[in-house]
Amino acid sequence: MNTRAKETQPAPTPAEPLATVEQGDERFVNDVNVNRSSRREFIRLSGLAVGASGLALPTTGLALGTAGSAISQPARDPAAVLARLPTGNNRFVHGQLVHPGRKPEDFAALAEGQAPLAVIVGCADSRVAPELVFDQGVGDLFVVRVAGNIVSGAGPIVKGSIEFAVAVLGVRLIMVLGHSQCGAVKAAIEHIDANDALPGSIGDLIDPIRPAVLAAKGRPGDKLNNVIRANVEKGVERLKGLDPILSKVAKTGELKVVGATYELRTGLVEVFG
Ligand SMILES: [Zn+2]
């Protein structure tokens, strides 16, 4: 644990939070081919240097190894964000969209940095676009989409992206978002017993969903919906315990990780966990 006194700690620079990511998942840095000498430039060019824009990064707690860093923006408090997303979804369901943050000037205003409200780990399915479903605008959601909204077994790129949003961008709410009629989950159910070879990398894609198929066995109700939910629950569980970055802030309650499912027919998102 870093024992430097909080009051003597200089304002976070982009290099410090990234150092946290490096310690937590060196693979992330390697995978984006950012070497040590060019990291600062990478952050500057990618518009991730929110510290430079005068925002107090809420990653101080992680960088210092302390538990109680305050979130400088009340709107990013996980409870506040968790209230905001269903409100947007309610607008979506009732056709009362306000389309926030969709004008060119909204995009331009974010050119120098971002401070998203939440990470959404969603399915790649074309019908489940988080910004639309929650009626949010540019810069609001840090979206990681992969078929089946897989977390465990998805590899370091998915987990590293989520860790990056938390450690560097200061996000404090993660939502794993499954959806009805998920094709990846259907495929996992269909092929779990058949043990047949699937073409290309599709087998590798559905393999991580198999534990959810087993977990849902014996649950009353619709089998597909049960596996969809179990798959989300497994993702939530994995992220809550993901060392060393997410587990640390999840344990203190500073980071909230929730599950949700989106019903295609109604547009309604049900949050749980
Ligand atoms: Zn899907």
261 CA from centroid of ligand 1 (Å): 10
- Dist. CA 227 → ligand 1 center (Å): 12
Residue 17 CA to residue 168 CA, distance in Å, equals: 5
- Residue pair 125/180 in contact (Cβ under 8 Å)? The answer is no
Whether 102 contacts 110, CB under 8 Å: no
pLDDT value of residue 2: 39
CA of 207 to the centre of ligand 1 (A): 14
How many angstroms is it from 180 CA to the middle of ligand 1?
A: 8
Task: Give residue 148 CA to ligand 1 midpoint distance, Å.
Answer: 5
Dmax (CA) for the chain in angstroms is 61
pLDDT computed for residue 112 by the predictor: 95
As a whole number of angstroms, the distance between CA 163 and CA 243 comes to: 10
pLDDT score for 109 = 96
pTM (two decimals): 0.76
Backbone angles phi, psi at 40, to 5 degrees: -60, -40
| The predicted structure's pLDDT at residue 194 | 79
| Distance in Å, CA 150 to ligand 1 centroid | 10
- Here the tokens at position 247 are 């587990």
Q: How far apart are CA 15 and CA 85, in angstroms?
A: 31
Does the domain at residues 3-11+25-272 carry the CATH identifier 3.50.50.60? Answer: no
Domain-by-domain residue ranges, the chain? 3-11+25-272
Distance CA 150, CA 158 (A): 9
Is residue 120 within 8 A of residue 144, CB to CB? The reply is: yes
Residue 27: HSE in the Cβ half-sphere, 13 Å Cα cutoff: 9
Distance (angstroms) between ligand 1 centre and the Cα of 258 equals 18
CA of 182 to the centre of ligand 1 (A): 4
- What's residue 75's pLDDT? 66
Taking the centre of ligand 1 as the mean of its atom positions, its distance from the CA of residue 100, in whole angstroms, is 26
Give residue 226 CA to ligand 1 midpoint distance, Å: 14
Separation of CA 183 and ligand 1 centre (Å): 5
Predicted local distance difference test score (pLDDT) of residue 56: 32
Q: How far is the CA of 164 from the centre of ligand 1 (A)?
A: 24
pLDDT in tens for each of the 273 residues of the chain? 333 333 333 433 333 343 333 333 333 333 223 332 333 333 333 344 333 322 233 443 343 233 333 334 446 899 999 999 999 999 999 999 999 999 999 999 999 999 999 999 999 999 999 999 999 999 999 999 999 999 999 999 999 999 999 999 999 999 999 999 999 999 999 988 777 888 899 989 999 999 999 999 999 999 999 999 999 999 999 999 999 999 999 999 999 999 999 999 999 999 997
Q: How far is the CA of 113 from the centre of ligand 1 (A)?
A: 30
Q: Quote the ligand 1 centre to 42 CA distance (angstroms).
A: 32
